[in-house]
Structure 1
Amino acid sequence: MLFRLFALVLALAAASPASAYWEYGHETVAKIAVANVRPATRLAIRRLLARQSLLDTPECLAGTIEQASIWADCIKPLKAADGSSRFGYAYNWHFQNADICRDFDLTPACKDGNCVSAQIERQAAILRDRHAGQRARVMALAFLIHFVGDLHQPLHAGDKSDRGGNDAAMAYGIYAPARLNLHSIWDGLLAERAISAPPTLVRRYAPRERARLAAGSVADWSRESWQVARTAYDAATGGRACAPFPARGMLDAAAIERLVPVARLEVQRGGLRLARMLDRALG
């Protein structure tokens, strides 16, 4: 009975990896951020998000920082009156799949600014600009909250020409449904475990810890997340990240245990770095 219950829980999680992690993951990054910004920044965030109606996306709410954290994913399928994609221009803004098997180089991954790190800087600049229209600033806030989370999911920052691990079929311990892959494991099952493990990640961090975890530039964070992506592939291939991927890889229990603190740290970094950016733009 316990085994069947465990299998059911895992099946529900895998059926919707975007919900399993990148609602939980993005919301957690956002909650860490709002717990660590200055009071004036928190008030400015609340006032901007109160104008969510300017986005004209009633299907995708952004009235709270948690809602705003997943708004950029929610809007992906929205259509214009002529049937075209309303937000198709933003598809490539969620990732920058720099090759983990070559020297770090964002040039191919960020052509014309169509990558997550370039858009983090662009949206932060719009948010800082008090002369930008209110709609532009509300949208920039929602995009920024989401994209900082995306950059700290390592399979959005590095891969080996497999769509961020989406083409890398994987088993998670004994659990191996056909649709499970390296990307969905980091989005879902691994992240769920990492974020849920005590102690809670959502808290007010001490100033010294905030400064240490939030340090660096967006370029620094890109390189760091790319290096974590290499760790993800190493764990999935027994330390042979750049070797041809097997028909189905497997993360065994030992590998999962090693990766839990890595995934937790990425969420902490994302939240505290987002707090730093929001303080600079709005505080």
Structure 2
Amino acid sequence: MRRIVFVMCCVLASSACFAWGGRGHAAVGALAQANLSPAAQAQVQTLLRDDLDRYEQASGRRSLASVASWADEIREVASRTDPKAYRGWHGRSNRVCADTLGKCREGLCVDQLIISNARILKDVQQPMRARNEALKWIVHLVGDLHMPLHSGINSNGGGAKVFLEGVEIKGDATLHGVWDSELANAALKGWKSSAVLGAVSLLADDAPTQWMLETRDVALHEVYEPLSGFACKEKLAEPIVLDSAYQLRSVPVVRQQIERAGLRLAQLLNQLLP
């Protein structure tokens, strides 16, 4: 066990510079593309043929993995002039110990944006650019929705200050931040899913909301309940120390959520692009 913990800490330390938006979202996109139907695959290629990057220049990107972080990229550019740009779009603040949904201002939250962009993508009367951007939003947001802290929070919110045992992180670290980056990238390094989409039924229009609620429960059981002193509706004492056992426990959780996101994204695109 001691050797496993040491290896885990080394991986964490070496991967801290990467973001979930890079490695995690690319993994979701790659798995989805591997499970597209031939018809959906062809339409994706058409939709990405004249793709533009964050600066409205030809991107040369032709795969779901390569465009999976576009939504984060345009937010980074927009935030230079408007710090509130796209605020709230990438998640929804659902309380992990409550059945009620978090607020969704004007439909601008993760599950509702997937639903609205799905309507645009499916509509062949929409301009090609609109459908291209709808595709990129869906690819990104399905990934975001399956990251536990994008779909569920406790009384501290995702900003609870944390330390990772045995790992040095520059600057302040938050619970949301380490699940987005350090823990996610440690789990993904050297791992590639070979999961295959099996027989599926027709997705309901509100399927993204149901996925989000499932992920909220993952946040409760896999992110919060393992923390010492956690209790529903109570703020955790900060800073929170995430020991080596917690770090190792996060590995199968991250991989499970990446696989769920990738396969569900494929199922959704196969249905929208028949």
TM-score by length of 1: 0.82
The one-character-per-residue Cα deviations of 1:74-98 (angstroms, maximum 9, x if unpaired) are: 0013259xx854x965332111011
Q: Does 238-247 or 261-270 show the bigger shift?
A: 238-247
Q: 1:95 aligns with which of 91, 98, 102?
A: 91
Pairwise mapping of residues 82-231 of structure 1 onto structure 2 (< 5 A)? 84-85=81-82, 90-101=86-97, 103-106=98-101, 108-163=102-157, 165=158, 167-175=159-167, 177=169, 178-196=171-189, 198=191, 200-201=192-193, 203=194, 205=196, 207=198, 211=200, 217-231=207-221
Counterparts of 1:206 and 1:54, CA distance in 2 = 30
Q: Post-superposition shift, 1:237?
A: 3.4
Aligned-partner SS, 1:22: helix
Aligned to 2:257, the other structure's residue is in SS state helix
Q: Check 1:60–1:76 CA distance in 2 against 1; reply closer, same or farther (3 A cut).
A: farther
Structure 1: distance between partners of 2:137 and 2:60: 13
State the distance in 2 between where 1:75 and 1:161 align: 30
Q: Which moved more, 1:23-32 or 1:174-183?
A: 174-183
Letter in 2 for 1:266: Q
- Give, in angstroms, the shift of residue 170 of structure 1: 1.2
Give me the whole-angstrom Cα distance separating, in 2, the residues matched to 1:246 and 1:176: 21
Q: Is the 8 A contact 2:155 2:235 kept in 1?
A: no
In 1: Cα distance, 2:195 partner to 2:212 partner: 25
Contact 2:112/2:209, CA 8 A, preserved across alignment = no
Query: Are residue 275 (structure 1) and residue 263 (structure 2) matched?
Result: no
How many residues are treated as equivalent by the alignment?
A: 267
Higher mean alpha-carbon deviation, 140-149 vs 217-226, is at: 217-226
Residues 151 and 187 of structure 1: CA distance in aligned 2, closer, same or farther (over 3 Å)? same
Residue 133 of structure 1 aligns with an amino acid whose one-letter code is P
1:170 touches 1:182 (CA, 8 Å); kept in 2? yes
Q: How far apart, CA to CA, are the structure 1 residues paired with 2:51 and 2:197? A: 32
Judging changes above 3 Å, is the alpha-carbon distance between structure 1 residues 79 and 93 closer, same or farther for their aligned structure 2 residues? closer
- Note the C-alpha offset of 1:275: 0.3
- Give the whole-Å Cα distance in 2 for the aligned partners of 1:148 and 1:24: 15
Residues 39-64 of structure 1, C-alpha deviation per residue, up to 9 Å, x if partnerless? 11111111111121398623977543
Alpha-carbon separation, structure 2, partners of 1:194 and 1:128: 34
Distance 2:154 2:58 in 1: 35
Match of 1:263 among 251, 254, 261: 254
**What percent of counterpart residues are identical?**
30
Q: Give the unaligned 5+ runs of structure 2.
A: 1-6
Structure that is richer in helix per residue: 1
After TM superposition, give the deviation of residue 267 of structure 1 in Å: 0.6
Gaps of 5+ in 1: none
Matched ranges for 1:42-121 at <5 A: 42-53=41-52, 57-58=56-57, 62-79=61-78, 84-85=81-82, 90-101=86-97, 103-106=98-101, 108-121=102-115
Whole-Å Cα distance in 2 between the matches of residues 54 and 10 of structure 1?
30
